[in-house]
Amino acid sequence: MLEVFFCNVGDGDAILIREFREGLPEYTVFVDCGRPFLEPAEGSLRKEAIYFLKARGVDRIDRMYLTHLHIDHIGGAQRILGAIPTERLFALYLPPEDALWISPPYRSTDKTQNGIRTMLNNFRDVTDAAKAGGCACSTVAAGTERLTENLSVTAILPKAEIAERQRRVFDALYRNEPIDSDEVFKAAKQRNVSSVMLRFDCAGRSVLITGDRYASDWEDEPVGHIDVLKLPHHGDPKSMTAPLLRKLSPSVAVISCQSDPRGGKDRPNEQVVAMLQSSVPHVFCTENRPLKTLEASTHNGVRITIGDDGTIACETE
């Protein structure tokens, strides 16, 4: 049996995937880690990812994947790596061995320029914590890999030119080498579309984890039918298009969001939710504000199970 649990980490992603044999977890994957800290909110069950792992008895992680370098996806990783033994950490990009501390331009007030430098320092702390705990760090390779007899993962990488720009700019920043500010800005802004997407297959069923890769960016990817879809970018207007949804034709769609969208962001978007509800039998949010066709709700998470016979069950907890 495969269990996929979408943790309510508010405006972020944290997905626990476990294959069970005879009632015991045989293989554990954790995709993204939410934010490092969440303010408690009245009426909300959202909390940091590590609390869900502890509550669900996770004492070992075989693989951790970080889809892209945004705080709501990697922020909780350092804490988890320090608390739970993890075998391997995967990301599209890793800091070079000679990575230095990155200082922002002394007089800069530019949010994007300063923010990417802060994020890269955070990411180096994550990989340092992984190595200190004996966790091997690897870059993700495109293609399919078998994890167990019944479970496989397929990595779908971003466009090559985006990945190459990211590597070139981030390496230069880590080494304190001269780099054009426009190139830094572009690489920082392309982090969502640099998301690694992961397809997990088990018992003839498929689960697609999309990071924050905008739908228009991967409409032409040869992904095919998906049974369970994690919407990218928290269900905002960029998260899905009608042609892509027709191609994927999922039976379950999950949106990770929060009941009070950060900075007034439109998450989940009402039109996107309506589009999903028109063709997807089961649509869930980890947490959401009231919409015309969706009551306000908060859950610990959304739990999907795939039986050995391929039967899919879904519920909120």
Q: What is the pTM of this model?
A: 0.98
Smallest CA-to-CA distance from 279 within 311, 246, 314 is with 246
pLDDT at 89: 98
Q: How many domains does the chain have?
A: 1
| Partners of 20 in beta bridges | 25
pLDDT at 264: 79
pLDDT at 280: 98
pLDDT at 108: 82
Q: How far, in Å, CA of 154 to CA of 198, rounded?
A: 6
pLDDT at 104: 84
For 102, the domain range is 2-316
For Cα atoms 187, 78, 287, give the angle at the middle one, nearest 5 degrees.
80
pLDDT tens track for 150-173: 999 999 999 999 999 999 999 999
Farthest-apart Cα atoms in the chain, separation: 61
Smallest CA-to-CA distance from 5 within 304, 281, 236 is with 304
Phi-psi region of 235 (alpha: psi -120 to 50; beta: other; left: phi over 0): left
Q: Which residue positions in the chain have pLDDT lower than 50?
A: none
The CATH number of the domain holding residue 220 is: 3.60.15.10
Smallest CA-to-CA distance from 316 within 1, 2, 7 is with 7
